[in-house]
Amino acid sequence: MSLVRQLFSRRMLWMLLGCLVVFGGIFGFKFFGLYMMNQFMDNMSLPPATVTTTRVAQQRWQTRLSAVGSLRAVNGVNVTTQAQGEVKAIYFESGQSVDKGAVLAELTAAPETAQIEVLEAERRLAERDYKRISELYKKGVATLRELDQAQATLDQVLASLSVQRATIRERTITAPFSGQLGIRQVDLGQNVSPGDAVVSLQQLHPIFVDFSLSERDFSRVREGQGIELTAAAIPGQVFSGRITAIDSEIDPRNRTFLLQATLENAERKLRPGMFADVAVKVEKFRDVLVVPRTSISFAPYGNAVFVIRKAKIETSGKPVQKSPMGEVAPPEWVAVKRFVKTGEERGDLIEIVEGVEAGEQVATSGLLKLRNDGGVIINNENPPPDQLAPKPDNS
C-alpha cells in the first residue's frame, strides 16, 4: 500500500513539473515577443509630418494703448408720457427709424378739447368788453380803472388758453431727435401715467465709446488722436474713430481717467451698451518680431514654436530608416521645439518677445503632428492667413 502511494506521489510531481515547463515556455515566448516588439517600435522611425512654414518677420508697429470700453449713443432716451390718459393712437413700428418731431403716439384729450371751446368763448367776450371800454375811455365816459380791468380779464383768458393748448400738446408724444426706435412698450387703450416709457430712441450715427486709461498715460493722449475699436459681437471687423473728449480729473479710487471717442456708424452695426476693445494709436513706433498666430503652440507651462531647420545627415554609410509605411530615406528637414515669450496680437500676427530670431523658419500648421527633432516635409501651397489687418470676405 505504501508503494502505491509513493508511485502516485511521484507521478503527480512529474505532472506538476511538466505543467510548469509548458506554461513557463508559453509565458517566456510571449514575454520575448513583447520585448522584441517594443525594441522594434522604439527603434522605428515615424514618417515625416507635412507642414506649412514661414519666416520670422521683423516689422515696425505703432505703439498702442489698450483699454476696454462701452459704446454709448450720442443721444439716447426712453420717450415717456407727460400726461395721464388712455392711448388713443400709435403711429410707429418697433425698430423704425424716425425724424425729429415725428408723432409717435396720442392720448385721448376730449375733456381738454372741450375746455378749449369754453375758453374761446370767454376770449371773444373779453375782447368785445375791452374794445367797448376802450372806445368809452376815449370819449371820457369810462375810467382808466375800468379799462385796466378789461385788459386784465382778456390777458387772463389768453393765458388760460395757452396753458390749455400746452396741456393738449403734452398728450401728443413726439420724437425729440432723429434716431432708431426700440421695442414698443405701450398698447392701444392702455391707461398711462406721467413718466411711463413709450419706446426707446437712440441716435446711432455717429456713436460714442467711453473708456479709461491709467494716469501714467495722461500725457500720451490728446483730442483728435486716432483709435481702433473691435467688438466681440462683430468679429473680424475694425472700426476707426478719434478721441473727442478727455476728462479733466483723475479718479482717485483707481488712478484712471475717462476718455470719449466718436466713431462713424453709418451701417448701424455698433449699438449702445456693447463692450469693445479700444486701441489708442500713439505716434511712437517700435521694431517687433512677428509670426502667424497659428505658429504658436499654447500650453499652461509655456508657449512654444517649432523651428524648422536642415537635418544633420551623415552621407557615409547612413542606414535606411524603417517606418510603418516601409523603408524611408532620412528626412531633409526636422522640427525643433522652442519655448517663446509672446507679446501683443494684431490681426493674424502675434509678437514674439524672445525665443526666436528674425529669418528663422517656423511651422505654421500641423503642430499636433510634430515632435521634437522629428522629420517634416514642407508644403506651402496653402499657407494659413498672416494679415496684419485681415478683412472678412463678407465685409
Whole-structure pTM value = 0.59
Is residue 375 pLDDT above 70, yes or no?
yes
**Which of the residue ranges 13-22, 34-43, 45-54 would you say has the lowest mean pLDDT?**
34-43
Q: What is the DSSP string of 91-102?
A: ---TT-EE-TT-
Whole-number pLDDT of residue 3: 62
Is residue 161 pLDDT above 50, yes or no?
yes
Query: Is there a domain that residue 34 lies in?
Result: no
Whole-number pLDDT of residue 316: 40
How far is C-alpha 65 from the geometric centre of its chain's CA atoms? 17
pLDDT in tens, 264-282: 998 999 999 999 999 998 8
- Do residues 54 and 113 both lie within one domain? no
Query: Is there a domain that residue 42 lies in?
Result: no
What SS3 class is residue 366? coil
Is residue 130 pLDDT above 90, yes or no?
no
* CA contacts within 13 A on the Cβ side of 369: 15
Mean pLDDT, rounded, for 338-358: 90
Query: Is there a domain that residue 1 lies in?
Result: no
Q: How many CB atoms sit inside 10 A of residue 166's CB?
A: 10
Query: Is there a domain that residue 184 lies in?
Result: no
Query: Is there a domain that residue 391 lies in?
Result: no
Is residue 318 pLDDT above 50, yes or no?
no
| Confidence label for 118 from pLDDT (cuts 50, 70 and 90) | confident
- Do residues 151 and 223 both lie within one domain? no
Q: What is the DSSP string of 287-342?
A: EEEEEEGGG-B--TT-EEEEEEEE-----SSPPPEEETTEEEPPPSEEEEEEEEEE
- Do residues 358 and 303 both lie within one domain? yes
Average predicted confidence (pLDDT) for the chain: 84
Number of domains in the chain: 3
Mean pLDDT, rounded, for 355-374: 89
Query: Is there a domain that residue 88 lies in?
Result: no
Q: Which domain holds residue 242?
A: 65-72+203-285
| Confidence label for 38 from pLDDT (cuts 50, 70 and 90) | low
- Do residues 308 and 349 both lie within one domain? yes
Decide which of 129, 147, 170 is a domain's last residue: 170
CATH number of the structural domain spanning residue 260: 2.40.30.170
Nearest residue to 335 via CA among 318, 360, 299: 360
Decide which of 124, 155, 170 is a domain's last residue: 170
